Amino acid sequence: MFAADTQAIGLNKSQPSRPQRISLVLQGGGQRGIFTAGVIDAFLTRHFDPFEHYYGTSAGALNMSAYVCQQYQYGYRFITQLTTQERFFHLMKYVRRQHHMDLDWALETALPGKETALDMETARRHLQNRYAYACATDVDILKPAFFSLTEDNWPDALKATCAIPLLYPHPVNINEHRYVDGGVTAAIPAKEAFARGADIIVVIRTEPDVEQEKRVDDSGRFLETLRARFETHKSQFKIADYLTNFEEKYRLARFETFQKELSKQLGELSERYKSSREQWVSRVKDSMREKAMQNGGRWLFGGDTIYRLQSLSGKPLSTDMLKMFTTHYQSYQSELQFLANPPARAQVLQIAPNEPLQSSALLSKSEALEADYQLGLTLGNQFLDQYGDALVALSSVDNSEFESTSAPMPHQG
């Protein structure tokens, strides 16, 4: 599924006065990244790469790395051969003994000297006049940070962008800062691509594009749920009144104020009502889980599997975790608004499945992973058939080796 036809994004119109800066943005999604791996392999097979900038979050950053390293099926093998192993993640060990996801073991296979290493020398040559960034979240300020894959700390950056809170035991330290999964603050970093000068942004999604009207409805339901959860405490700390006022004046720009107010009230509650705090936080957790479930499983916390793990872990939802939820909600809504209504000078193309993928964030069946990979291959080739020549002609970087005609796919292995 593509977001617009060629006429709608202007690719059939007369050539612009200057070459266009084209960026590629890759959403995360855990094992759902197998769909993105399929799209990337379609691109690699036909030598399609008109991009000047690349941005990847979580599993999207891994697929981006495979792309700039020009390693066909790297993402496919990583997901199907590593993330499906019990050593990477075992449900009952997590539930019974808090045995966390072994991200260190999986990513160690990508390091230089390993048989399955990422070819970073190829990446550095490829990126001499291009730029690739992995997005992580600074835990202390809850803002996105973008790490270049040509820097020496790229292994830590890949670990940070995939370090899912709850499933990975601690933030990743880089230059005296602490980072977790980039999906908390920039699940689809298209706005960052625009901020860095992109004229055309190609976005690979791991979930269907949702109509804007549904997004607005979901926002209203989310606020209504929160208000209902807080209603019993209205006389004590007045959050329900605040939410009523917030809903009437709701704008994305106001969500930061909401987050600060909610954090303030949580602090007061912790001091004044310690005896009832656990029960209250449980109610907030329920409302947040309900909201995330409504949004189709984005960010690894967004899948029903991950929320089930959160519940089974027995850990209460902390104030810091609640801040992450609200920050993720704010940033994701902002990204969706940007994709639906990009600025006048930017054009956005999305490659996304028409229906929810068969795979899950974790614990996917092998047949589901294979089906979603094949879907990615198919949609990737369809995208190239429709837009490939035009994007190559417009690009600020040379991509003369692009094969316009779809070629037979290499053997999988």
pLDDT digits (tens, 9 = 90+) for 185-205: 999 999 999 999 999 999 999
Structure tokens at 192: 């960052």
Under 8 Å between Cβ of 22 and 52:
yes
Coil, helix or strand at residue 123 = helix
Active site residue 400: no
Q: Looking at residue 38, what is its pLDDT?
A: 99
Structure tokens at 294: 């409504």
CA 252 to chain centre: 19
Q: What angle do CA 14, 17, 18 make, to 5 degrees?
A: 120
Q: Looking at residue 166, what is its pLDDT?
A: 82
Closest listed residue to residue 202, CA positions, set 353, 20, 8, 51: 51
From the candidates 181, 209, 218, 372, which is the catalytic residue?
A: 181
Angstrom distance (rounded) from CA 276 to CA 244: 24
Q: Higher pLDDT residue, 137 or 167?
A: 137
Angstrom distance (rounded) from CA 192 to CA 121: 26
Structure tokens at 90: 């075992």
Is the pLDDT assigned to residue 251 strictly greater than 90? no
Q: Looking at residue 98, what is its pLDDT?
A: 75
Average pLDDT, integer, range 358-385: 96
Active site residue 148: no
Percent of the chain past pLDDT 90, that is, above it, reads 59
> Which residue type occupies 58?
S
For residue 305, name the pLDDT band (cuts at 50, 70, 90): very low
From the candidates 23, 41, 49, 58, which is the catalytic residue?
A: 58
pTM (predicted TM-score): 0.78
Q: Mean pLDDT, the chain, as a whole number?
A: 80
Q: Looking at residue 91, what is its pLDDT?
A: 75
Lowest mean pLDDT among 33-42, 355-364, 383-392: 355-364
Kindly report the number of other CB atoms within 10 A of residue 398's CB atom.
12
Closest listed residue to residue 335, CA positions, set 224, 185, 231: 185
Q: Higher pLDDT residue, 20 or 286?
A: 20
- Crossing angle of helices 212-230 and 277-294, in 10° steps, is 170
Structure tokens at 243: 């939410």
